Amino acid sequence: MHPEPDLKVTLVSPSRETPYSGLLPGVVSGHFPEEDLYIDLGRLCQFAGAELILATATGVDPNGSEIGLENRPSLAYDYLSIDVGIEPALTDLTEFDEALVPVKPISGFMARFNLVYEQYRGGGAFAIVGAGAAGLELAFALNHRFGGKAEGNGLQKPIFYLCQAAAEILPEAPGRLRANIQKALAAQGIQFQPQFRAVRQGAGQLVSAGGAVLEVDQVFWATGAAPQSFLKNSELALTPSGFIAVNAQLQSVSHPNVFAVGDAADMVEQPRPKAGVYAVRQAPVLFKNLIKNHRGQTLTRFKPQQRYLSLISLGEQTALGYKGSFWGSGRSLWRLKRHIDYRFLDLFKNLPLMTQPSAANKQVLDPSTQCRGCGAKVASSILSDVLSQLDPDGGRVLDDSAVLTPPIGELMIQSVDAFRPIIDDPYVLAKIAVVHAVSDIYAMGGRVGPIMVNLTLPYGSESITRSLLQQVMAGVLSQTKAEGGQLVGGHTAEGLELNITVSVTGWASSGHIKTSRGAQLNDHLVLTKALGTGTLFAASMRGQAAPSWISDAVSMMLQSNRAAGALVAAPSVHAVTDVTGFGLAGHLQSMLVAGQGVDLILPHLPVLKGALTSLSELGVYSTAHEKNQRAATSVRTQAFSDQRLLARQSLLFDPQTSGGLLISVAPDASQDLVDRLQALGFDQAAVIGTITDQVGIAVSGDG
């Protein structure tokens, strides 16, 4: 909410949403819905003016100031803050199988837990390894959830074991509280197994170092903390346990431009156990020190509290709590824990309106002082360096022009598309831009050949420009190769925002060329990809789109039409177009010739998750929606009483980014085409209508 004007902030995360561990026991026990567990990182970054890159870190090079990312180029940084949590420590186990369910990371745990819960059918035995606060809460929560399912369905109640290597539960807690925990475990039928150090799991058994054997169906692992594997060879100074060693200022003891907090770090001067409460308290100091480090000011010391309030849910709506020698129990403590957890989550979900320009809108350099025209070109040295690193065997990329020789006997197809940012991630955005641009080639039955790209990069320092150019060009090169094309030239310039223009040349024999005209009477219309990107990203800009909606939309936009384009050469295919900015209605209207019309079946339209909700419940439309509707004069809309049908009708005018192919095919070949498309990964491909001799586009609500 108080951004530093000359810092560009990027968040790297493997997921668009992140779980809050404090709410996990309440979700597992069934008291709270799972969606409450997650913080929407896309919405948070949008609010904060930060960029979100969805990628998995594979390494850190602190000497080169780069983060290695999985399946994409490294990301450069000036300052790095690491809070990546932990992995489960499984070093004590000599063997284990798929029945072992680690609690960390929580995102992976929830997917496994849901599968186990659905598979449970009466009876069964389960073990929780680790009787710290997290293990205790999990044991009580699982027992409550599974036991309730058994009672509600007349099934046998499952058996739960709580195992730990030590003899005492929570040795730091008051004695009377420990006694109350023992009573609660016994009252709920959870069998406590002290001095049970698990060393082997598999084939339905959990075996201790002392030879004790428990017959169990699933084992939930809630003990031990291991550092993320990508930190091992990072050259950052680590503690003997493998975590990042930081000083009292939360700064790496070996690399002063690197900071680390939470479970990923060990404070060498002030050792503390792994607990989320410290990460929360570290956050304000971390923010201050990142800014002060950038300004060259003296850093602030973090002073961790000696004691903190621990609250342990008991499955039912009761809890135990202690701080030092003081402790208590009851429903009021459970309500207190719920209040604390939801108050914390509300900070990230109920975001206030920004009263000042975000960091994303403040340029590192003043645009008014920057040259324009050809003076705005990105330095050739930066471009050459980036291209040579990304594609050392690709040969020289021409600056502004390319000489092309068409294959003998083939025709040339050309298309160009300009692309403003629809998502923050420059690598993924570049891939989508290429997928979007080459669809025109596939719609005409061609194959992709030479590609040229024109980039406008936001004004920035040389290091920022180089890093951004590397991400964009890596995306362009990766997708160009995936399409079977070749990058032959382009142009770079600086401006107010990132803009990607892709010019594509394709080749096709004259006998294989398809156009948008040529549909025949009674042809079936097949659409290869789902609709809804316009409304979904409009909702995302307003902070109203669920993370899963955007994730699914991005996956769809990244799906190339190349495989679908290979099918349109069939004689049974009479006309093809791709569905993009004019919406389905606009592109469908362009397919029709005099005397032709369409019967369009609205329930058959493939729709992206959340698109109908965005239109019908949120009332969010793309800014291009209205002009698309005005232009689609041949559509005969209906006043449906069903709001979902009205939303599907509105979807006809929704502008699409990297949409599917719309194919007019002989009726006796349409189902075979759909089957082939679905086998190629176009899961939502469907017949959506029929070409008729009734002029206009008629919509039907009958499936």
Beta strand 66-69 pairing with 72-76:
antiparallel
Q: Is the pLDDT of residue 451 over 70?
A: yes
Domain 515-700 falls under CATH 3.90.650.10: yes
Whether 398 has a pLDDT exceeding 80, the answer reads no
Out of 45, 163, 371, 374, the active site residue is: 374
Candidates 489, 484, 480, 486; CA nearest to 454 is 489
Structure token digits, residue 700: 């039907």
Q: Which residues of the chain does CATH 3.30.1330.10 include?
A: 373-511
Is 482 exposed, middle or buried (CB count within 10 Å of its CB: 0-12, 13-18, 19+)?
Answer: middle
pLDDT digits (tens, 9 = 90+) for 74-92: 999 999 999 998 888 888 8
Determine whether 45 is an active site residue: no
Where do the DSSP E strands lie in 283-355?
Answer: 310-314, 316-323, 326-330
100-225 CATH, one of 3.40.50.11060, 3.30.43.10, 3.40.50.2000, 3.50.50.60:
3.50.50.60
The domain 10-86+227-308+331-349: what is its CATH number?
A: 3.50.50.60
- The torsion region of residue 610 among left (phi > 0), alpha (psi -120 to 50) and beta comes to left
Confidence of residue 383 (pLDDT cuts 50, 70, 90): low
pLDDT in tens, 25-53: 999 999 999 999 999 999 999 888 899 99
| Nearest C-alpha neighbor of 130 from the set 55, 245, 222, 52 | 222
Inter-CA distances, 426 with 72, 364, 490, Å:
11, 18, 17
What are the residue ranges of CATH 3.90.650.10 in the chain?
Answer: 515-700
Residue 76 token pair? 């450069």
pLDDT value at position 670? 97
pLDDT at 420 over 90: no
Q: Calculate the alpha carbon distances from 51 to 79, 293, 326, 467 in Å.
A: 15, 21, 44, 13
Q: What is the DSSP pairing of strand 125-129 with strand 159-163?
A: parallel
Look at residue 360 and tell me whether its pLDDT is greater than 50: no
Q: What is the model's pLDDT at position 353?
A: 61
At residue 588, φ and ψ (nearest 5 deg) are -65, -40
Instruction: Give the E-state strand segments of 137-187 in sequence order.
Output: 159-163
Q: Mention every residue, 6+ apart, whose C-beta is less than 8 A from residue 29.
A: 140, 141, 142, 144, 145, 313, 315, 316
Peptide bond into 105 cis (omega under 30): yes
Q: Which of 536, 497, 502 is nearest to 625 (CA)?
A: 536
Is pLDDT at 355 greater than 50 in this prediction?
no
Residues of the chain with CATH 3.50.50.60: 10-86+227-308+331-349, 100-225
Comparing 510 with 481, the larger pLDDT belongs to: 481
pTM over 0.75, yes/no: yes
CB contact at 8 A, 7 and 81: no
pLDDT of residue 135: 94
Q: Under CATH, domain 373-511 is a member of which superfamily?
A: PurM-like, N-terminal domain (3.30.1330.10)
**Beta strands 696-700 and 597-601, pairing class:** parallel
Residue 146, classed as helix, strand or coil, is: helix
